[in-house]
Each structure stands twice: as C-alpha cells, then as structure tokens.
A = this chain, B = another copy of it.
Amino acid sequence: MITPLRARDELDGPGLERLVEHILAGGVSGLFILGTTGEGPSLSYRLRKELIERTCRQVKGRVPVLVAITDTAFVESVNIARWSADAGADAVVLAPPYYLPEGQPELQEYLDHLVPELPLPLFLYNMPALTKVTFELETVRRAMDNPRIIGLKDSSGNMIYFHRAVGLLKHRPDWTLLVGPEEMLADAVFAGGHGGVNGGANFHPRLYVELFRAAQAGDTARVRELHAQVMHISDNLYRIGRHSSAIIKGIKCALSLLSVCDDFMAEPFHRFREPERARVQQLLSEIGLLK
C-alpha cells in the first residue's frame, strides 16, 4: 500500500480511509504498509506510527495488516514493531539493514538478536536492488528454523531465486512465500508460491486478485488475458519517467485521478506533473477505470 500524503510529514487521512476501502473492496487478502511502495524509509517515525494506527483502525481486522520495520538502526526496527503490535497489526516485515552492507553470517546473527525483541511474527523481505544485500537462500533456510519467522517476500525479480525459495518450502509447510513484482505474480503462483504483494493493487486491486485466483485455479487462458492487462499497466504506467521512483509516482497519480487520495510524495521525490499525468489518465481510460 502506498502512503497517502497531503504535504510534507502530513498524512492524507480521508484519502487513507478511502484507499483502504478501495483496496479491500477489490478482495485482497492482506495489506502491507510502509514497504518500498509505501515510501516507508522516507517518512518520519511519527508519521509511520500514525499510519500504522490509522490503517489498523480502518481495517478493523478484516484482513491481516503487515508492517515493514526495515531500518538501519536495530532499536528503531523494534520500536516500529511495538507500535505495530499495539495497533493490532498481524506481522512485521524486514529487509536487511541497508547502509553498510553486512555479510550473511552477520545477517543471520542480526535475525537471531532481533526476532526475540519483536512482539509479532516476522516476514523476510528480499530487495537487493535497494538494500545491496540479498537474503541468500542459505540464510532463508536457516531462518526457517525459527518458528517466529513465517515467510519471505521476494522482490528481487530473479525467477531462479524464487524457484529455489519454493524448493525450501518442504522444510516449513506453514511458511508463506510471496512475490513482489506484479509482472511475476502468475509465474510465482505456478511455481508454487502463495501470492503477491503488488503495487498495482493500490488502484486496481480486483485485477491482481483475479489474476491470483486464475493462476491458483490453473486457468491458463484467463491468466493470459489478465496478465496481458498487468503487462499493459507495467509497460505504460511504470515507465513514465526515468528514475526508480517511477512506479510509486505512477500509482499515486492513478489514485489521485481516481479521486482516492492525494499524490503528494515524500522528499526527495515529487508527484507527476503534466504531461505525465495526462498519460496516466489515458492509461486509466484504456483499462476502463476512468471514463
């Protein structure tokens, strides 16, 4: 889930309420907040706490809420996890500390130290393009020995890694394996994964839910049709602008055009201006979300 902002360090509260309802109406199975698309690292801790509380209050237990606690500072990760538990969230999600790169033994020891401090179960979050450090599969395998670590979200975009992660599931039948990039949602389900954490579900949740269900049901014809829509969105919405923030900008712009919430972005990024906005509007018309 993106984080609706009205201005610097200011939540768009009504937008947040509409966004949660918009996404839940689409049938999603859970909400993941403060991740990459949620601009988590760009937000003040005060605002992160507010977002956690407001989101949990709005969701009211209808679906699980997962909260990213990725941080370069151990203590701050623990703090966010505590706020999450207090607010009624269901699990927390952690990518490796991302300033000074650590080795895998250090990452393993870090998990050993961190997990006992967390009041909620933990998902690992593999995002090497941004953290510089991969959760190598040997580290994932070892984490599976800890029952408080319950799953992995893989946003590497590396399909071989994902297949190898599927191969580890035999060690933990209760483990949840999710994929980040929505272009790989069907592949991930075919491969034996359990679902996706897909940014496009912010503005078009039903599409990704239906694609997930079609893949799960093995309905390959329907998968092709829905996947083609996902690729159309990816090719047109996420490649406006050259920088890595283009996906978030595109999603926020779409939500603004759909009158769901504001498209203000935390620094150092800014919302799309015209003519990017016009291109998003055209895409939303093409896919039937705007008349």
Listed in ascending order, the chain A residues whose CB lies under 8 Å from chain B are 8-9, 36, 39, 41-47, 72-76, 79, 96-103, 106-107, 109-110, 113-114, 130, 132, 157-160, 163-164, 167, 181, 183-184, 186-187, 190-192, 218, 220, 223-224, 227-228, 231, 234-235, 242-245, 248, 266-270
Contact = CB atoms under 8 A, between A and B. Distances in A.
A270 B164 contact: no
> Copy number of this protein in the oligomer?
4
Contacts of A244: 100-101
Contacts of A43: 73, 75
Given A114-B267, A242-B103, A41 B192 contact: no
Nearest to A266: B74
B99 A42 contact: yes
B164 A103 contact: no
A51 B143 CA distance: 34
Given A44-B73, A183-B160, A102 B268 contact: yes
Given A97-B42, A164-B235, A268 B107 contact: yes
A109 B187 CA distance: 35
A119 to B, nearest CB: 17
Contacts of A220: 190, 218
A96 B267 CA distance: 11
Contact of A267 (B39, B41, B74, B269): B74
A243 B9 contact: no
B100 A245 contact: yes
Contact of A41 (B99, B106, B130): B99
Contact of A157 (B73, B102, B160, B190): B160
Given A73-B44, A187-B191, A234 B160 contact: yes
Contacts of A159: 157, 159, 181, 183-184, 187
Nearest to A215: B190
B76 A45 contact: yes
A226 to B, nearest CB: 13
A8 B113 CA distance: 11
6 contacts: A41-B100, A101-B244, A106-B245, A107-B268, A159-B183, A167-B228
